Amino acid sequence: MRVATVVFGVVRGSVRMKEMVRLLFLRCVKVGEKNEGRKMKEWRDGLLVV
């Protein structure tokens, strides 16, 4: 039972980390689109495929 709690906590933590990374990434993309929109978009599409 305790192990499940730890695993659940790690999973939730990683989800939260992913959300933060995604928000940071989206912010970078917004800034990048102003500078060089097309290259950034292709890079983002490549990441979404992966």
Give the number of domains in the chain: 1
Domain range for residue 4?
1-50
* Token pair listed for 11: 């999973």
Q: What is the pLDDT of residue 34?
A: 67
Q: What is the pLDDT of residue 5?
A: 83
Q: What is the pLDDT of residue 33?
A: 65
50: pLDDT strictly greater than 60: no
Q: What is the pLDDT of residue 26?
A: 84
pLDDT tens track for 8-48: 888 888 888 888 888 888 887 777 666 665 666 666 677 66
Burial 5-33 (b: 16+ CB within 10 A, else e): eeeeeeeeeeeeeeeeeeeeeeeeeeebe
